[in-house]
Amino acid sequence: MREFKSFVKYHGEEYGLPSMKVIRSVMKISSGIIQDRERLKNIDKETGEIK
């Protein structure tokens, strides 16, 4: 993460990357979506229970 932060700081504009604050916010939101998808895989189709 430190290397990525440094990359964004020095080369972010070249690649159209927003600030680290925006990137962290998106990563935080995305990680929740990924976790929710994983939970959905563990649902008993007959009872609806989360395993």
pLDDT digits (tens, 9 = 90+) for 7-41: 988 998 998 888 888 888 888 776 766 666 666 66
The per-residue pLDDT of the chain, averaged, comes to 78
Show me where the domains of the chain are located: 2-41
Show Cβ contacts of residue 50 under 8 Å, excluding neighbours closer than 6 positions.
Answer: 39, 42, 43, 44
> Which pLDDT score is estimated for 28?
78
Distance, CA of 31 to CA of 42 (rounded, Å): 17
Distance, CA of 32 to CA of 25 (rounded, Å): 11
Coil, helix or strand at residue 43: strand
Name the pTM for this structure: 0.49
